[in-house]
Amino acid sequence: MPSKKDLDRFRGDVGETVVAYELLKRGWDVMRNLGGHGYDLLASRARVQRRVEVKCTDPSRKTGRARNQLTVILSKSEQEAADFLVFYVHGFDTFFVIPRSAFPTSGSVTVFVGRDGHLTTGTAYERFKNGWSALD
Number of domains the chain is built from: 1
- Phi, psi dihedral angles at 122 (to 5 degrees): 85, 0
Residue 21: partners with Cβ closer than 8 Å, 6 or more residues away: none
Which CATH number does the domain housing residue 68 bear? 3.40.1350.10
Tens digits of pLDDT across the chain (136 residues): 788 888 888 888 999 999 999 999 999 999 999 887 899 999 999 999 999 999 998 777 666 566 678 889 999 999 999 999 999 998 888 999 999 999 999 999 988 877 777 777 667 888 999 999 999 9
Domain span including residue 25? 4-135
Which among 109, 49, 130, 128 is positioned nearest to 83, based on CA atoms? 49
Which among 93, 78, 88, 90 is positioned nearest to 125, based on CA atoms? 88
Q: Burial-class residue 29 by CB neighbours within 10 Å (0-12, 13-18, 19+).
A: exposed
